[in-house]
Amino acid sequence: MSAGRWLRRHAVEGRHTAARLVCFPHAGGTAAAFQGWPARLPADVETLVVQYPGRQDRIGEPCIEDMREMADRVTAELLDRCDVPLVLFGHSMGSGLAYEVARRLERDHGTAVSRLFVSARTAPHHVHGEKRHLLSDEDLVASMRSLGGPDAEVYDHPQLLPLILPPLRADLRLLDAYRPERAGLPRIQAPVTACGGDSDHTCPTADLALWEELTTAGAEVRIYPGGHHFLRTHEADVAGVVSKHLLTLVQTRGDTTHGPS
């Protein structure tokens, strides 16, 4: 099955797909952010990573600056991939997008994802006051540097900024315009696991529990050492939690498929 322009596919050739994990990168991010994940997951799990337009091999395409359009487009790409249990994982901007995709699949297509993992982002109906897309280039770079993490060094190369800043600014404009009312977002049926860094000033650990307001199936919170980009330094730990859930899905599906011996 071709993954198309929107999805980057990682799967073990010749293996039956028992479950799918769909990953949503952060603002300004690319599918490469999750390139190490497939090796940490069960072999019969297909990993799909969303590649947003306006960067890398999609650099010639216009960026999308509206959450509704972005979620609609990604949802459409996933419709023929709901034949096995689907798990979504979003980091930072990807958290809100993953939630919006989950609720579209459920509301419009009758497909509830197995679990929604969100990372480094307050529940969208509690975010307010951000206007980062209006920052000057200098201030925007300084803001991104303040988040730390291994990706901060990319801003040390001025020749890369014309490639990096336009999609980043577009993603921030999408986020800054995404302001759902606190009473306006429906609860999804999927349970939620909210992950965060204990020193992430953009998402205080107490905010992670607010995701429970967006699910009827309960939410759990997992805290890791680090700031906004704790996911890069604790990839093995976080992917291990996701892998454990996926393994349970795979085993359950296998039992259901084969039936009693």
Residues serving a catalytic function are 92, 228
Distance CA 207, CA 195 (A): 10
Distance CA 132, CA 155 (A): 17
Amino acid at residue number 21:
L
SS3 117: strand
Residues 6+ apart with CB under 8 A from 254: 18
Residues 6+ apart with CB under 8 A from 51: 5, 6, 7, 8, 30, 31, 57, 58
Distance CA 129, CA 189 (A): 29
Report the run of H or E that residue 26 belongs to, with start and end: none
Distance CA 203, CA 161 (A): 26
SS3 21: strand
Distance CA 219, CA 239 (A): 18
Helices (H), the chain: 67-78, 93-109, 137-146, 161-177, 205-208, 230-233, 235-258
Other CB atoms within a 10 A radius of the CB of residue 198 amount to 12
